[in-house]
Amino acid sequence: MPVSASPTVTALSAPTQAELLDFVRRTAADAELVDSLPLDPEGRTWVRLEGPGGSEAWLIGWPPGSGTGWHDHADSIGAFVTAAGELKENSLAARLPTDGWKTLELAEDVDRERRLPVGKGRAFGHHHVHEVLNESVEQHAISVHAYYPPLPQIRRFSRNGPVLRLEQVERPEDWQ
């Protein structure tokens, strides 16, 4: 006779981009949590959160004029939403090779720009290359981010016109 699993036992399944986006939206709407983030006028601040289904999540404070620089999240999918202030995302609508290159010349039509006021955000897939900026000269911005699987690495790039150059690979021990 076959043995069936107990109905109270469920397997953890990997969260989807839509589930990550739902999580960051709900978390960004938690005014008490957002207001609890300490803000620093000199640099970004962050607090790690428990994300859904084993995902990695962060509440991040962005002082005026700050940004991430161009980067990707390797094999992780993700989502982020602005909880306070406004962020701008510049991204590439092109899939980059994952290995074996240092410099790429980008086509003219790959640049995308999004303005993300409070409550707005987006989900993204594997190897999404972007930079996130707080262009305000006066106001902090705060955002919520989630990634699955937890970030194995972040590749950082420099950009000069159409030329994208791999500059550095960071591992979790570099930012945790």
Q: Is the bond leading into 64 cis (omega within 30 degrees of zero)? A: no
Query: Dihedrals φ, ψ of 138, to 5°?
Result: -125, -30
Is residue 58 within 8 A of residue 46, CB to CB? The reply is: yes
Q: Return the amino acid letter for 151.
A: L
- Over the stretch 38-59, which tens digit does the pLDDT of each residue have? 999 999 999 999 999 999 999 9
- Over the stretch 73-123, which tens digit does the pLDDT of each residue have? 988 999 999 999 999 999 999 888 878 899 999 999 999 999 999 999 999
Query: Dihedrals φ, ψ of 84, to 5°?
Result: -155, 145
- The reported pLDDT for the residue numbered 50 is 94
Cβ-based neighbours of 160, under 8 Å, separated by 6 or more = none
- Over the stretch 127-137, which tens digit does the pLDDT of each residue have? 899 999 999 99
The greatest distance separating any two alpha carbons of the chain, rounded to the nearest whole angstrom, comes to 69
User: 10 Å Cβ neighbour count for 171?
Assistant: 11
Is residue 44 within 8 A of residue 89, CB to CB? The reply is: no
pTM listed for this prediction = 0.89
Q: Is the bond leading into 97 cis (omega within 30 degrees of zero)? A: no
Burial class (CB in 10 A: 0-12, 13-18, 19+), 119: exposed
Q: Please give the domain boundaries of the chain with CATH numbers for all domains.
A: 17-174 (2.60.120.10)
H-helix or E-strand containing 33? helix 31-36
